[in-house]
């Protein structure tokens, strides 16, 4: 790189005399200018094929009466969108998605922050604890869902058994909206808290130690140091996790799907009265059970817009909050 | 150096793109056939034999869960590639796929119409379209209806345990509900039946027209039989006599193991599921008897060939062989899947079959008798979309979230949307 740059700098004087040298210079010049693009190109090519193209194609499908097997049945314009806005099940799914997202993400990120702060202190067997928190994330989501679905079983579940010990009546976890949201959120938190904690931990380790030292000299408490030094210092990482959790949380599918015993019998509506049907589950129901691909594409596009919107809101919110410290 | 870098990036890209498209022809010149199945069709041994007697053919079985199978098949048909050469279509969804029959080979082109007399008339009709001109699939098994009950739990409730006596308790579903009341009065802590949904489905499977009339028009709201079936099942739910379980789910398995319900509807194929769920500890405790209300059919499948198959001729020969009477009889003996061919289920050997696990119940005779008397339900094109709506409605009743009337009203509304 440096060699290229020096040659570019001397180029004006040297380029005139020999044509051979100028050719080589031009090649080098071209090289310096375009190689970086070429190196990043594969990402964009792959993104265009697997990201952009499906996105545009989905928009195209959503403007048609499109059956999964039989394909295009004719252009209908924005009919699907009009139907969607009048569809109570869509709004219910949107509510569930946002409720599940808030219930799982907020406690999850706060817990991750606390966990990271603990791991950042000199614990014995540090590597063990650090690897341990990532474990839930490594286990397949199907396995996690299977185990949690049994924990939250109505008749023979452990959670109800424990509640029974303190005199609380058994809860029908799949029948009540709030209970089902709580159960599904627990699953999400279990899977992602450790992962986010490790991201925070990595960021915390790069916070200069002398800041803590001077704060200690000033007599600041640990609590104060955490909120006034640690959190503002790892702001970029917090922003990153908020955005990724937003995207992941709003696209929630596997956890609620596997929590619903009806999913295996192909009549999943996310609960008997759509208690925990998320937008992606609704899309799945429409597209793959009822074969209405056009409508499913419409749901997919609305979900995309919701994700973009919420991500922007969250990004600016967290930037402001984290900026105060 | 930079040029080689550019070259290698380009080469990597080409490789990445090329990896997406694999070849499919057999390396050793053999015809490769694939079978797309779900659960257990009992084909393992048969396929080995077929390959031994047809050295130029190589067969691969792909087994997935039924739900996955149906969605996968739908996307493969839509995409025009990826489907197996022979695919299984379950009775509940066959009408849905029949609506897209141009994606399938008309088996009549290979002479399937000559085989017609092998099957019960109704089974043959379910697998055909255009008044029998288009043969979509060849029938495999059927789900002739019985009723399973726990002998020990019946005894504890002071009810008879002998299967003939039990059958006499419930000639009709109304009688079945009365037995439920007696049972609950004596042993209130045990549920009489696993789920109202299966009771509902069983009653409906005993009628000739359910949600759709035979001309495929939607009639659920004016068909008294649908309402009666719903009310009968909902009443059990309201009285807390059902376990409110999702049929065949994990919790259903646990409940089987715990012995927390005393009866369940039993299509022939369900015996294997009950045995698997209840385990060896419950051997001899379960028994099978005649279902209230006579014969009915729930489930059973067809073998069809997607048009995208590269070897439809060879695939047809294999499907024909697998569904032939001799093979059907062997499958019944090995797995208990009831053949949909009268000659097979009337066969003396089949009739004499008993199931050790179910207290040596003469399952061959019970299911064959039920098969003889059954009135198959007409499945509308949108049956598989409408049906689940009523199932979830019954779950709402069982969960105590809605009254039977509220659940019924909501189900009708949703069903109307689904039937559009």
What CATH number is attached to the domain comprising A254? 1.10.3720.10
Instruction: Average the pLDDT over each of A279-293, B9-23, B133-147 and give the range with the smallest value.
Output: B9-23
Q: What is the reported pLDDT for A23?
A: 65
The answer to the question of residue A259 being in a domain is yes
Same-domain status, A269 and A140: yes
- Phi and psi at B320, nearest 5°, equal -65, -40
Q: Which residue is closest to B92 within chain A, CA to CA?
A: A266
Across the strands, what pairs with A41?
A: none
- Is the CB of residue B240 less than 8 Å away from at least one CB of chain A? no
Four-CA torsion B367, B368, B372, B374, nearest 10 degrees: 20
* Cβ-nearest to B249 among A38, A42, A261: A261
Q: Is residue A71 part of a domain?
A: no
**C-alpha–C-alpha distance, residues A263 and A267, integer Å:** 6
Q: Please check whether residue A31 touches B, CB under 8 A.
A: yes
Residues A276 and A256 sit within 8 Å (Cβ to Cβ): yes
Measure A238 CA to nearest chain B CA, in Å: 34
CB contact under 8 A, A69 and B78: yes
Q: Which pLDDT belongs to residue B24?
A: 45
CATH number of B145-298+360-419: 3.40.190.10
What confidence score (pLDDT) does residue A146 get? 85
Average of pLDDT values for B325-332? 93
Looking at chain B, which residues constitute the CATH 3.40.190.10 domain(s)? 30-142+299-350, 145-298+360-419
Same domain, A109 and A204: yes
Chosen for mutation from A142, A261, A271 (greatest number of chain B CBs closer than 10 Å) is A261
Using the predicted structure, report yes or no on whether residue B13 has a pLDDT greater than 50: no
Cα B206 to Cα B145: distance, rounded to the nearest angstrom: 9
Measured between CB atoms, does A289 come within 8 Å of chain B? yes
* Long-range own/partner contacts, residues B273-279 (CB < 8 A, 24 or more apart): B273/B248, B274/B148, B275/B357, B275/B358, B277/B252, B277/B253
Tell me, which fold does domain B30-142+299-350 have in CATH?
Answer: D-Maltodextrin-Binding Protein; domain 2 (3.40.190)
**Mean pLDDT for all residues in chain B:** 89
Q: Which residues of chain A have pLDDT under 70?
A: 1-27, 264-267, 321-325
**Stretch B331-359: mean pLDDT, rounded?**
91
CA distance A276 to A191: 18
The interface predicted TM-score (ipTM) is 0.83
Separation between Cα atoms, residue A273 and residue A89, nearest integer Å: 10
Does B14 lie at the interface with A, CB-CB under 8 angstroms? no
Q: Which residue has the higher pLDDT, A131 or B313?
A: B313
Q: Which of B252, B278, B65, B274 is CA-nearest to residue A153?
A: B252
Both A146 and A13 in one domain: the answer is: no
Please check whether residues A40 and A158 belong to one and the same domain. Answer: no
For A:32-61, CB contacts with B below 8 A are: 35, 38-39, 41-42, 45-46
Tally of domains in chain A: 2
Within 106-145 of A, beta carbons closer than 8 Å to B belong to none
Give yes or no for residue B127 having a pLDDT over 80.
yes
Residue A132 shares a structural domain with residue A266: yes
Is the domain of A169 the same as that of A198?
Answer: yes
Please check whether residue A24 touches B, CB under 8 A: no
Alpha helices in chain A (DSSP H): 2-14, 19-47, 53-62, 79-85, 88-120, 126-138, 141-151, 158-165, 177-205, 209-217, 222-225, 231-233, 235-250, 254-259, 279-284, 293-324
Distance CA B241, CA B191 (A): 5
Q: Which of B13, B75, B96 sits opposite A45 (nearest CB)?
A: B13
Rounded to a whole number of angstroms, the distance from the CA of B48 to the nearest CA of chain A is 30
Asked if residue A311 is part of any domain, the answer here is yes
A25 interfacial to chain B (CB closer than 8 Å): no
pLDDT of residue B260: 94
Structural domain of A8: 2-62
The answer on pLDDT for B26 being more than 80 is no
**SS3 of residue B239 by DSSP:** coil
Looking at the fold, whether A100 and A50 belong to one and the same domain comes out as no
Q: How far apart are CA B101 and CA B134, in angstroms?
A: 8
Question: How close does chain A come to B300, measured CA to CA in Å?
Answer: 15
CB atoms within 10 A of CB A264: 18
Check B71 against A288: CB less than 8 A apart.
yes
Across the interface, whether the CB atoms of B67 and A172 are under 8 A apart is answered no
- Does residue B254 belong to the interface with chain A, where contact is any CB pair within 8 Å? yes
- Which pLDDT does position B361 carry in this prediction? 94
Q: State whether A45 and A183 are in the same domain.
A: no
Tell me, what's the pLDDT at B292?
94
In the three-class reduction of DSSP (H, G, I as helix; E, B as strand; rest coil), residue A316 is classed as helix
A223 touches chain B (CB under 8 A): no
Do A297 and A305 meet the contact criterion of CB atoms below 8 Å apart?
no
CA-based Rg of chain A, rounded to a whole angstrom?
Answer: 26
> How close is the nearest chain B Cα to the Cα of A224, in Å?
49
- Most A-contacting residue of B246, B298, B402, B403 (CB-CB within 10 A), to test interface: B246
| A226 three-class SS | helix
User: Is there a contact between B250 and A272 if contact means CB atoms under 8 Å apart?
Assistant: no
Shared domain for A202 and A316, answered yes or no, is yes
In a domain, A74, yes or no: no
């Amino acid at each position: 790189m440096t060699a290229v740059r020096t040659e570019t700098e001397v180029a004006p004087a040297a380029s005139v005399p020999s044509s051979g040298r100028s050719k080589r210079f031009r090649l080098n010049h071209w090289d310096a200018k375009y190689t970086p693009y070429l190196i990043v190109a594969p990402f964009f090519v792959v993104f265009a094929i697997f990201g952009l193209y499906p996105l545009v194609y989905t928009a195209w499908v959503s403007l048609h009466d499109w059956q999964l097997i039989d394909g295009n049945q004719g252009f209908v314009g924005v009919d699907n969108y009009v139907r969607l806005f009048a569809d109570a099940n869509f709004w219910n799914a949107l509510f569930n998605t946002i409720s599940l997202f808030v219930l799982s993400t907020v406690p999850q990120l706060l817990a991750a922050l606390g966990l990271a702060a603990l791991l950042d202190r000199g614990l014995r067997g540090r590597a063990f604890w650090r690897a341990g928190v990532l474990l839930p994330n490594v286990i397949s989501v199907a396995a996690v869902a299977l185990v949690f679905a049994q924990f939250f079983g109505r008749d023979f579940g452990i959670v109800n058994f424990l509640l029974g010990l303190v005199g609380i009546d058994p809860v029908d976890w799949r029948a009540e909206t709030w209970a089902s949201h709580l159960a599904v959120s627990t699953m999400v938190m279990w899977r992602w808290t450790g992962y986010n904690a490790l991201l925070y931990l990595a960021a915390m380790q790069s916070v200069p130690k002398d800041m803590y030292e001077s704060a200690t000299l000033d007599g600041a408490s640990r609590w104060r140091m955490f909120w006034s030094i640690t959190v503002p210092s790892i702001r970029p990482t917090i922003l990153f996790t908020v955005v990724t959790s937003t995207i992941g949380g709003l696209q929630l599918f596997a956890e609620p799907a596997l929590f619903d015993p009806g999913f295996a019998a192909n009549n999943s509506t996310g609960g008997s009265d759509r208690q925990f049907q998320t937008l992606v589950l609704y899309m799945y129901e429409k597209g793959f059970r009822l074969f209405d691909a056009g409508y499913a594409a419409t749901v997919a596009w609305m979900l995309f817009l919701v994700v973009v919107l919420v991500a922007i809101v969250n990004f600016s919110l967290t930037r402001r909050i984290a900026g105060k410290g | 150096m930079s040029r080689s870098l550019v070259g290698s990036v380009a080469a990597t890209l080409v490789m990445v793109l090329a990896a997406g498209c694999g070849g499919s022809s057999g390396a050793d010149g053999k015809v490769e056939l694939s079978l797309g199945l779900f659960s257990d069709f009992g084909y393992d041994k048969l396929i080995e034999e077929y390959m031994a007697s047809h050295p130029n053919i190589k067969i691969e079985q792909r087994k997935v869960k039924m739900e996955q199978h149906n969605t996968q098949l739908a996307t493969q048909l839509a995409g025009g590639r990826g489907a197996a050469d022979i695919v299984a279509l379950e009775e509940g969804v066959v009408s849905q796929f029949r609506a897209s029959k141009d994606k399938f080979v008309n088996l009549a082109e290979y002479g399937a119409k000559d085989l017609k007399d092998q099957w019960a008339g109704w089974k043959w009709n379910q697998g055909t379209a255009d008044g029998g001109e288009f043969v979509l699939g060849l029938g495999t098994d059927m789900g002739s209806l019985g009723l399973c009950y726990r002998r020990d739990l019946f005894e504890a409730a002071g009810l008879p345990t002998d299967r003939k006596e039990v059958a006499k308790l419930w000639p009709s579903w109304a009688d079945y509900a009365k037995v439920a009341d007696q049972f609950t009065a004596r042993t209130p802590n045990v549920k009489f039946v696993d789920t109202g949904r299966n009771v509902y489905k069983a009653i409906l499977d005993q009628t000739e027209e359910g949600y759709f009339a035979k001309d495929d028009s939607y009639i659920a709201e004016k068909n008294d039989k649908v309402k009666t079936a719903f009310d009968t099942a909902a009443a059990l739910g309201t009285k807390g006599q059902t376990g409110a379980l999702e049929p065949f789910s994990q919790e259903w398995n646990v409940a089987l193991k715990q012995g927390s319900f005393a009866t369940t509807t039993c299509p022939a194929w369900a015996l294997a599921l009950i045995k698997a769920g209840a385990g060896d500890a419950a051997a001899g405790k379960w028994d099978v008897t005649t279902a209230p209300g006579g014969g009915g059919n729930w489930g059973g499948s067809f073998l069809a060939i997607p048009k995208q198959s590269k070897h439809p001729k060879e695939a047809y020969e294999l499907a024909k062989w697998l569904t032939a009477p001799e093979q059907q009889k062997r499958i019944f003996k090995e797995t208990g899947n009831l053949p949909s061919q009268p000659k097979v289920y009337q066969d003396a050997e089949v009739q004499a079959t008993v199931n050790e696990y179910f207290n040596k119940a003469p399952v061959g005779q019970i299911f064959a008798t039920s098969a003889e008397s059954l009135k198959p339900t007409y499945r509308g094109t949108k049956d598989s979309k409408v049906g689940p709506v009523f199932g979830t409605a019954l779950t709402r009743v069982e969960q105590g979230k809605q009254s039977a009337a509220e659940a019924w009203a909501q189900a009708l509304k949703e069903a109307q949307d689904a039937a559009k």
